[in-house]
């Protein structure tokens, strides 16, 4: 049985592998696509000319491989603080915040949140939903 921590680790490994494969240079938004060297001749993707599509290039450039790798690193640090022999997190109980122990059978909200973006992938369990 795969634990929520193992599931998250596997997804982060995949994200890291994909981003590392294309990290050559920072991506920038150009007039007609996203470039990895600031020129229109080396676009990593082309975007059709349309007033509705201009945010596409900005979005892609903003989520370039270096940002994806920084995101993976931050999530790994969060995951490391939440694994091992149980851990304590704040738990809301009828309007009160208390320290509570969590384990793999009852993942804390932080682990549930880390897993949530991967909910559409195989291996995600409905009981992990935030």
- Label residue 17 left, alpha or beta by phi (over 0 means left) and psi (-120 to 50 means alpha): alpha
The alpha carbon of residue 37 and the mean position of all alpha carbons in its chain are separated, in whole angstroms, by 25
- Radius of gyration for the chain, computed over Cα atoms and rounded to the nearest angstrom: 19
Whole-number pLDDT of residue 2: 87
For the record, the structure tokens of 52 come out as 């509705």
Q: Are 72 and 9 in contact (CB under 8 A)?
A: no
Sign of the torsion formed by the C-alpha atoms of 122, 127, 129 and 130: negative
Whole-number pLDDT of residue 42: 57
Whole-number pLDDT of residue 1: 67
pLDDT in tens, the chain (130 residues): 688 999 999 999 999 998 888 776 666 666 666 666 655 555 556 555 655 555 666 777 777 788 899 999 999 999 988 876 656 776 666 666 666 767 777 888 889 999 999 999 999 999 999 9
């Amino acid at each position: 049985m795969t634990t929520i921590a193992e599931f998250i680790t596997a997804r982060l490994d995949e994200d890291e592998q994909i981003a590392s494969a294309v990290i050559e240079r920072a991506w920038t938004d150009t007039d007609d696509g996203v470039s990895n060297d600031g020129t229109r001749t080396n676009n990593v993707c082309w975007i059709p000319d349309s007033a509705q599509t201009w945010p596409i290039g900005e979005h892609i450039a903003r989520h370039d491989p270096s940002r994806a790798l920084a995101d993976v690193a931050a999530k790994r640090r969060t995951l490391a603080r939440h694994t091992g022999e149980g851990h304590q997190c704040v738990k809301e109980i009828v309007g009160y915040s208390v320290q509570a122990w969590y384990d793999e059978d009852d993942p804390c909200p932080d682990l549930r949140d880390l897993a949530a973006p991967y909910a559409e992938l195989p291996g995600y369990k409905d009981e992990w939903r935030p």
